[in-house]
């Protein structure tokens, strides 16, 4: 029964990882851009939420409603005026720029905030739980998983059935041909980045409630997101969800036997996928 509980907790943890990793997967699927600042952006969103609460906003959810569009706007501006300039045949320029951005964000947070661990709260929801067949399941992790499913489902519908989604898929396959049809790939890229940054903000705040955060927490978040994307398949949103759940279950089951194996087990599974199935579980030509 305890092992069953560990598996359930891993599935719930996978929902949190999916919120982080889906933005990373989307940006790669559309722009072939690996954003090394991904984890630090999640931490920055958590600190922005904390700052709003310190100036008088009493609810984390209300602060999140403000932070999400701000992060989406930041993503649009960064992609349009900075990251767009790094898109080239070689991935090196974007890797260097996003790595530098991550370093800048981390050091700004260290200068302006305490290096101590911080935590956001949703009040009674933080510790609320349900009893299902003798197992206790946290309400907050369950809500995060359901929200991740809704986000991925909604994003999939947008990509499949809307004009903007069709443009995203078209520019992902062939940006030059799409530009000849009158669409501006730069605006489409910026719109996709805005969506990715909004997802990062939600993931950062959810992690801030469940696990806490500090200025240096972004590095580990980036690693988990990257591992989930590789396991599921680069650019595949549902693959990312599957990879996130696999990563979460492996970590919690390993921790059931030995708590020190939590991170190591996930890294080992990631390396096994990288060695024997580098394309991930779901391999797609149009990786969106």
- Residue 283 included in any domain: no
> DSSP H helical segments within 113-217, as ranges?
139-161, 163-173, 175-180, 185-210
**Phi, psi of 118, deg, nearest 5:** -115, 165
| 87 has a pLDDT exceeding 50 | yes
> What's the pLDDT band for 179 if we cut at 50, 70, 90?
confident
Among the ranges 77-86, 127-136, 232-241, which has the highest mean pLDDT value? 77-86
In whole angstroms, what is the distance from residue 23 CA to residue 15 CA?
13
DSSP state of 135: E
- Residue 95 included in any domain: yes
- Average pLDDT of the residues in 21-47: 91
CATH number at residue 109: 1.10.3470
> What's the pLDDT band for 255 if we cut at 50, 70, 90?
very high
- Residue 232 included in any domain: yes
- Residue 272 included in any domain: yes
- Average pLDDT of the residues in 162-176: 86
In whole angstroms, what is the distance from residue 34 CA to residue 206 CA?
22
- Average pLDDT of the residues in 169-175: 84
Domain coverage including residue 50: 2-276
Q: Write the burial class of residue 5 (CB in 10 Å: 0-12 exposed, 13-18 middle, 19+ buried).
A: middle
- Average pLDDT of the residues in 222-242: 90
- Residue 35 included in any domain: yes
- Residue 286 included in any domain: no
User: How many Å separate Cα 124 from the centre of its chain?
Assistant: 25
Residue with tokens 């008088």: 56
- Residue 256 included in any domain: yes
SS3 call for 49: helix
- Residue 222 included in any domain: yes
> What's the pLDDT band for 286 if we cut at 50, 70, 90?
very low
In tens, the pLDDT along 63-83 reads 999 999 999 999 999 999 999
Q: Select from 168, 229, 172, 210 the least CA-distant residue to 38.
A: 229
247 strand-pairing partners: none
Count the domains in the chain: 1
Residue with tokens 């580990």: 220
């Amino acid at each position: 029964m305890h092992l069953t509980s560990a598996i359930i907790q891993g599935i719930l943890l996978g929902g949190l990882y999916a919120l982080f990793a889906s933005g990373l997967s989307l940006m790669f699927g559309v722009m072939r851009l690996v954003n090394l600042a991904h984890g630090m952006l999640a931490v920055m969103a958590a600190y922005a939420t904390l700052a709003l609460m310190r100036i008088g906003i009493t609810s984390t959810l209300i602060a999140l409603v403000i932070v999400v569009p701000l992060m989406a706007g930041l993503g649009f501006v960064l992609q349009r005026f900075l990251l767009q300039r790094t898109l080239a045949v070689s991935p090196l320029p974007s890797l260097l720029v996003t790595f530098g951005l991550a370093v800048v964000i981390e050091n700004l947070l260290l200068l302006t905030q305490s290096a101590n661990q911080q935590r956001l709260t949703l009040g009674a929801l933080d510790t609320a739980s349900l009893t299902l067949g003798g197992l206790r399941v946290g309400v907050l992790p369950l809500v995060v998983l359901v929200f991740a499913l809704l986000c991925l489902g909604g994003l999939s519908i947008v990509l499949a059935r809307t004009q903007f989604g069709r443009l995203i898929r078209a520019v992902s396959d062939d940006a030059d041909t799409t530009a000849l049809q009158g669409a501006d790939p730069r605006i489409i890229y910026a719109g996709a980045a805005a969506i990715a940054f909004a997802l990062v903000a939600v993931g950062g705040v959810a992690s801030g409630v469940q696990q806490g955060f500090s200025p240096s927490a972004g590095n580990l978040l980036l690693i988990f997101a990257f591992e989930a994307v590789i396991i599921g398949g680069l650019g595949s949103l549902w693959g990312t969800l599957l990879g996130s759940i696999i990563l979460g279950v492996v970590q919690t089951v390993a921790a059931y036997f030995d708590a020190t194996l939590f991170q190591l087990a996930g890294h080992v599974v990631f390396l096994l996928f990288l060695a024997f199935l580098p394309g991930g579980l779901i391999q797609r030509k149009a990786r969106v």
